[in-house]
Amino acid sequence: MSLSRVALLIPNTDITLETDLNRELPNNYVIHTQRLPLMEVGLEAEKKMVSESLPSALDNLEGVADFDFAVFGCTSASAVYGREGVGQIEKLVSERLGCIAKSALGAVLDQLKRTGSKNIALVTPYDDELNAFMMEVLREFGFNVYYSCGMGLRNDIEIARVEPVEIIEFVKNNIDGITSVDGTVLVSCTNLRATEIREDLNLILKSPVVTSNQSIISWLLNEHR
């Protein structure tokens, strides 16, 4: 079986996406990680990461290997320049590394479309400011975000430390709003440990659940076929 080399560009504070990829992908997928400085999850910090740190990170990866795939692994940062920005990030990464590329938000959007529902409940570790922005961008893509709730976290290290049981408890505390409309539940953030409990959330909510990391994994596996 031939190797599939994945260039993974993620915040230096993100330990969850890399863990999920290594756990869920077949052994022939090799992850080459390049980390971008980010301590705080917020619009200004993430804009700086996309406009300044991402091009520099691509300098470090360009020409290193013949990559099969590239992933920009930060959901909220994928959205900081709106709908057009998502495509621009993917185009930049693809052109620089010479392979097909996908942003975390791009993978999420693909997965949301597969559910067939335009109605979305947004669950995140973010604060209200970032949640409001994520809702705005999702609406730009034609989705009806009927409910959102966030844990109020800005420090990305703190986000990684949220235990799966805490995510389940948070969802249960917001279950009335999340299930108030028949739709899909999006649990956003590549550094939140939601993918490993996605099936549990499906059972609790009795609704399709899309997570950032599962969306990326699905994209990598589908593109390989």
Amino acid at 60: N
Residue 10 has, within 13 A of its CA and on its CB side, a CA count of 25
The three-state DSSP-derived secondary structure of 16-64 is HHHHHHHHHCCCCEEEEEEEECCCECCHHHHHHHHHHHHHHHHHHHCCC
pLDDT value of residue 169: 98
Please tell me whether residue 81 adopts helix, strand or coil conformation. coil
- Which domains does the chain show, CATH number per domain? 4-104+214-224 (3.40.50.12500), 107-212 (3.40.50.1860)
Please tell me whether residue 65 adopts helix, strand or coil conformation. coil
Residue pair 150/183 in contact by the 8 Å Cβ criterion? no
How confident is the prediction along the chain (225 residues), in pLDDT tens digits per residue?
Answer: 688 999 999 999 999 999 999 999 999 999 999 999 988 888 888 999 999 999 999 999 999 999 999 999 999 899 888 888 899 999 999 999 999 999 999 999 999 999 989 999 999 999 999 999 999 999 999 999 999 999 999 999 999 999 999 999 999 999 999 999 999 999 999 999 999 999 999 999 999 999 999 999 999 998 754
Residue pair 18/8 in contact by the 8 Å Cβ criterion? yes
Q: Match 């971008």 to its residue by tokens.
A: 36
Element (H, E) at 184: strand 184-187
Residue pair 208/184 in contact by the 8 Å Cβ criterion? yes
pLDDT value of residue 42: 85
